[in-house]
Amino acid sequence: MFSEEHEREEEKEIQEEKSSFQSELLDAIEDQSEEVEEEEEEVHTQARMQVEQEEEIQEEFEEEYKENRAEEDKNTSKKADEALPAEDEKKKKEQISYSHIVVDLWRTKMHKEEWGIRLDAQRAQKDRQWTRDMDLIGLVKINGEEYGNLAMREKLWKGKDPLERRFVMKMFSPSGYWRASIERLQGESFSMSHATKEPCPVYICIFKHTRNLFRIKRLAHYPRFQGQVFGFSYLDENDIFRSFVLDDKRLTFGSDWMVKDIHNNVIAKINGKFANLGGKFIIDIFDEKLAVDKTFFNMLILFSSTLRFLRDVKKNIKKSLKELKTSDTEIKLDDSESNLYLNPRKLSI
């Protein structure tokens, strides 16, 4: 009896210990799970905070990138806006004509400047450069104002013997005084043409405002589709050497030329009117300094006055060279041309 009670008490104690242990174990498990949950929650919180920070950094970076891109686009647009006016200004500057010259050659003599019986005698009395065989053939205007009249020695040019034909063009002021002359040098034209095997006219320009002589000559021979090239050079009023090329623009109506400087910049243009029967040439000068350079624009005027006769001049050179090659004829230059070959240094001593 005693033993049974004792056993029951022991079992009861064991059960109580068991339940106490289980309760403690459950409490420990609950506490541990709470700690794990807290740790997990803390980890999740930290992760969420890191993600938020990364998102904030990304947003800041994107905003900064957008601001920089917008500023770059603005600067690029500004530069483009600044560049366009600069290019337009440059293009506009290139197209500005500082001097507009019209060289109008007449086909007939039905002009008021030619009317009158005593005109030739009056002109000859006014200036010795006007000879009896001269014929008024054209008018020159600069920027709308009359600048001069063009006349040529008609009898010299219409001679039958090709070796004796001479081309002489002179420009006179509206009041009748001599300004300048352009003559073809027979001897030098024959020499150049013989060397290049092509008609190469050489002209000499003489001006009232200077004692210097200036030559305009056909330089190189190009294939027909490339046109032809003339060149001239001179010392300006400040003793600066200047060199220019007159480049024929082929595949155009009329006789069109581009005037280029030593840097190959187009500083003037000569536009020959195709429909004009006598020969009308428009000269535009795009360089402000050269537009007021007497030597430069007068040389362009005189060169333009020869273009109407260029084909006949080259034909004359061909015939003359053929005659010289097939006969024993010798060249005898006119005295007025021979004087142009004299040594200026010897004359000045």
pLDDT in tens, the chain (349 residues): 546 666 677 777 777 666 666 666 666 666 666 665 666 667 666 766 766 776 677 777 677 767 777 776 666 666 655 655 555 555 544 579 999 999 999 865 555 555 444 566 677 777 888 888 888 999 999 999 999 999 999 888 988 888 888 999 999 999 889 999 999 999 999 999 988 888 999 999 999 988 888 999 998 666 655 678 999 998 887 888 999 999 987 655 557 899 999 999 999 999 987 555 557 999 999 999 999 999 999 999 999 999 999 999 999 999 999 988 888 888 888 888 888 887 776 655 4
CB–CB of 134/149 below 8 Å?
Answer: no
Please state, as a whole number, how many other Cβ atoms lie within 10 Å of the Cβ of residue 69.
10
Burial class (CB in 10 A: 0-12, 13-18, 19+), 231: middle
Paired tokens of 345: 């240094």
Place of tokens 């293009």: 91
CA distances from 329 to 325, 332, 334, 341 (A): 9, 9, 15, 21
CA distance 170 to 124: 13
Per-residue model confidence (pLDDT) at position 122: 74
pLDDT for residue 121: 67
Cα distance between residue 253 and residue 280, in whole Å: 13
C-alpha 323/C-alpha 328 separation (Å) is 9
Q: Cβ distance 256 to 249 under 8 Å?
A: yes
What is the token pair recorded at 31? 């506490």
The amino acid present at 44, given as its one-letter code, is: H
Query: What are the respective helix, strand and coil percentages of the chain, to the nearest 5?
Result: 50, 25, 25
pTM of the model: 0.69
Q: Helix (H, G, I), strand (E, B), or coil: what is residue 111? A: coil
* Cα dihedral: 120, 121, 126, 127 (round 10): 60
At residue 117, the pLDDT reads: 47
Q: Which residues pair with 99 in a beta bridge?
A: 285
Round to whole Å and give the CA distance between 237 and 217: 22
The residue to which tokens 């004509």 are assigned: 97
Is residue 15 left, alpha or beta, with left meaning phi > 0 and alpha meaning psi from -120 to 50? Answer: alpha
- Strand, coil or helix: what is 333? coil
* pLDDT value for 18: 64
Count how many Cα atoms sit within 13 Å of the Cα of residue 240 in the half-sphere of its side chain: 9
Report the run of H or E that residue 148 belongs to, with start and end.
strand 145-153
Query: What does DSSP assign to residue 82?
Result: H
- Nearest of 249, 196, 246, 247 to residue 225 by alpha carbon: 249
CB 114 within 8 A of CB 136: yes
